[in-house]
Structure 1
Amino acid sequence: MALGKITVNALNLNQGPFPTVEKYFLFIGMGLTGTDTLLFLNTDSDLDIELGIADSELKTQVKAAKANAGQNWACCAVPVTDGALWESAFDMAMNNNVKIEAVVICTPVLVQADLTAMHTKAEETNATYGRRLFFIAGAIAIDSTPTTGQNWSAYITALTALTVTLAAMRVSVVPYIYPDAVGIYAGRLCNYQTSVADTPMRVNTGSLVGQDQSTLPVDSAGIIYNNAHAKALNDQRFSVPQFYPDYEGVYWSDGSLLDTATGDYTVIENLRVIDKAARAVRLVLIGLVGDRRFNSSPIGTAWAMSKLMRPLFEMSRSTDFQGIPFPAELKSPVDGDIAITWITRTSVNIFIIARPLDIPKDLTANIVLDLSTIA
């Protein structure tokens, strides 16, 4: 007769929170202090100590990002002596297990190949580490030297050569309309009043911090930057400052990406929201490797579906406070938003739908005059 035996197992159901990298950016640019050193910064950091008392390319952009991001902002940065050689600084950060959402290259790109290299590096990083990220690149400022410099037409034409025909959906390019434009843009993307599903175009969270309409640049003929120039640059897939007549402040255009004209990722919020979902789904998939609870039986399939849909459910939690909507990052999943197909006994294909909410960017109001005498 067998002896009694008792075993107690503590099962791990992998229900912990997903780690987040969103709104944590890596800045790479020229600086004189801490060269080739990985620095970790936040709202408490004294940038004069960390990045040097003197102004530098890197410090200018980090300072603008800090101001525009507001509370809870944090980033990492690598000062370099030659900003064009950013790849070694980026590789150092990756080798040090730094997990980021985006890389900000402060040194202006000069040729289209620079943008291609950034997109290639983003794709290689995903392939090597499973880390999904995008690049923000700066483009050179206008030469406003009277008579001998550029007018706006020549400047826009010169910049167009950077983006024309280029497909690089993980790259967003910001011309230095302001000397700290790249940092302003990065800061707006990292502002904790908003989510990754929000556009940097939003007006409700306020004007650009640190710049105003009086500081808009002029060209060699003295013509001030205006919305016609903003539109021309936006049409060439640049992200730029814009403003509204008779409305105080300066705001931002779309966060344009260099995707193809018909691609799903022509704007930054689409890429950010799908990347956030994909990062979490990847972790769920890793936990399912070799787990026979995930099998082709109805109960095994249903269990796996609930695990895989968890990231989307968490990203779809909205709040309604006194009639004011505070929307989630995604619409709530519905039946049919996930499909699982077993190719063989060990190979499975999974399809998941993520639905972002609408964003008003082109608004038209029609007002009708009622001249009837009926009260």
Structure 2
Amino acid sequence: MSLGTIQINRLNLFQGELSEVEMHFLFIGLGDTNVGSVLSMSQETDLDNDLGGSDSVLKTQVQAAMDNAGQNWSASVMPIAAETDWQDAVDFAMEVTSCEAIVLTDEITAGTDIEAMQTKANNIMATYMRPVFFMCAVRGCNTETETWAAYTTAMAAITDGIAADSVAVVPYLWGHDLGTLAGRLCDSSVTVADSPMRVATGPLSGIWSNKPVDSDGAAISMAYLTTMDSNRFSVPQWYPDYDGMYWGDCSMLDVDAGDYQVVEHLRVINKCIRKIKPLVIARIGDRRLNSTPASIAENKTYFMRPLRAMSKSVTINGLTFPGEIRPPESDSIVISWTDNETVVIYITAQPYTCPKKITVNLALDLSTE
């Protein structure tokens, strides 16, 4: 004989929303107010109150980011003292905040600084399984002693031979360049898959009509900006007979033929990592993921969920705004068991093509009706 019993279990199928840190950047630089604190900022923040009333490079870049990001901008900002090592500041900040990118506003002077940032990005990924990329700046042209030719040659030595696919370098030509690019990358009217080169996003905000000059009094030209771009610096640009200032590629210091030579490719794959990570953790020790064909098919659908969300397009009045990646195919995910306890999952995300060089050929049609 027995007594009747029931048991009701609340199951978690992990179907909820996945958190996002995209377009939230961490700015670190010298400051004299709130030193050592990680500040949360938005469009309503009073920079004079949080970063002090005096001018600073950090404050200038944060203001430029705020001006160029538009609505719903948010960022973390950490002022540091002159004796503080930026790497120690990053380690501290990683304990209290998450971000998509780390922006170091104080000028670097050598390729070893870039290599240190790449190493730090790798260490953060190893420690927290948190993908980030770095943005940093080099000095502008010395208007007393340097010509543009001498300046571009000196700067080329900093990035020459450097392999760092998680670092972008911006020259301080106008003085607010780094913050402007950081803000443009955080414009919520576009996605992480969009290039800062996108003209339809609008011109850069800020003062850009005062072109910097060299020791000969010559204003910067597109020829020297092109040279800096070829040396893998991220620089602004303009188009003849077209109003406004715009940006070029945000170049990452990846190797030739590398997949992550531009920031939008890196941002897309980093977002995929952040989205898939919690789904993977939730499957640890769960026998629903096993080596049977039915389980593999079911879990391919499960792990494909972030890719489907990122691939959603919207069509308005016949105009299609594509998703961040192409819709995944059946072979976009492959699940392979290497032994009874170890599974390897291969996932591919395919970005859309993007026109950055457009050629138009015009010809007369002189045929008669």
The count of corresponding residues between Structure 1 and Structure 2 is: 369
Q: Which runs of 4+ in 1 moved over 6 A?
A: none
Rounded Cα–Cα distance in structure 2 between residues aligned with 1:368 and 1:84: 63
Match of 2:288 in 1: 293
Match of 2:86 in 1: 86
Match of 2:154 in 1: 158
Q: Do residues 181 (structure 1) and 181 (structure 2) align?
A: no
Q: How far apart are residue 304 of structure 1 and its match?
A: 1.1
Query: Which stretch of structure 1 is more off in the superposition, 193-202 or 295-304?
Result: 295-304
Rounded Cα–Cα distance in structure 1 between residues aligned with 2:353 and 2:228: 24
Rounded Cα–Cα distance in structure 1 between residues aligned with 2:212 and 2:199: 22
Q: 2:215 aligns with which of 220, 232, 243?
A: 220
Q: 1:255 aligns with which of 250, 258, 276?
A: 250
Q: How far apart are residue 84 of structure 1 and its match?
A: 7.5
Please tell me the residue identity of whatever aligns with 1:69. Answer: A
Match of 1:245 in 2: 240
> What RMSD, in angstroms, separates the aligned Cα atoms of the two structures?
1.0
CA contact (8 A) 1:273 1:329 kept: yes
Q: 2:343 aligns with which of 343, 348, 352?
A: 348
Rounded Cα–Cα distance in structure 2 between residues aligned with 1:261 and 1:215: 35
Secondary structure of 1:248's counterpart equals strand
Q: How far apart are residue 364 of structure 1 and its match?
A: 0.5
Match of 1:44 in 2: 44
Please tell me the residue identity of whatever aligns with 1:57. Answer: V
Please tell me the residue identity of whatever aligns with 1:370. Answer: D
Structure 1 residues 122-201: aligned runs within 5 Å:
122-145=121-144, 149-201=145-197
Please tell me the residue identity of whatever aligns with 1:176. Answer: Y
Please tell me the residue identity of whatever aligns with 1:107. Answer: D
CA contact (8 A) 1:83 1:107 kept: no
Secondary structure of 1:159's counterpart equals helix
Structure 1, gaps ≥5 residues long: none
Rounded Cα–Cα distance in structure 2 between residues aligned with 1:280 and 1:164: 34
Q: Do residues 358 (structure 1) and 357 (structure 2) align?
A: no
Query: Which stretch of structure 1 is more off in the superposition, 347-356 or 77-86?
Result: 77-86
Match of 2:69 in 1: 69
Question: What per-residue deviation string (whole Å, max 9, x for no partner) do you get for residues 121-154 of structure 1?
Answer: 0000000011100000111111011xxx100111
Match of 2:104 in 1: 105
Q: How far apart are residue 7 of structure 1 and its match?
A: 1.1
Distance 1:143 1:84, change over 3 A: farther
Match of 2:115 in 1: 116
Please tell me the residue identity of whatever aligns with 2:184. Answer: R
Match of 2:24 in 1: 24
Distance 1:84 1:368, change over 3 A: farther
Q: Do residues 56 (structure 1) and 56 (structure 2) align?
A: yes
Secondary structure of 1:215's counterpart equals coil
Question: What per-residue deviation string (whole Å, max 9, x for no partner) do you get for residues 53-103 of structure 1?
Answer: 11111100000000000100010111112288211211111122x110000
Structure 1 residues 271-286: aligned runs within 5 Å:
271-286=266-281
Question: What per-residue deviation string (whole Å, max 9, x for no partner) do you get for residues 291-310 of structure 1?
Answer: 00111112211121111110
Structure 2, gaps ≥5 residues long: none
Secondary structure of 1:174's counterpart equals strand
Identity between Structure 1 and Structure 2 (%): 45
Secondary structure of 2:14's counterpart equals coil
Rounded Cα–Cα distance in structure 1 between residues aligned with 2:55 and 2:34: 14
Secondary structure of 1:250's counterpart equals strand
Q: How far apart are residue 116 of structure 1 and its match?
A: 0.5
Secondary structure of 1:243's counterpart equals strand
Match of 1:325 in 2: 320
Rounded Cα–Cα distance in structure 2 between residues aligned with 1:336 and 1:36: 48
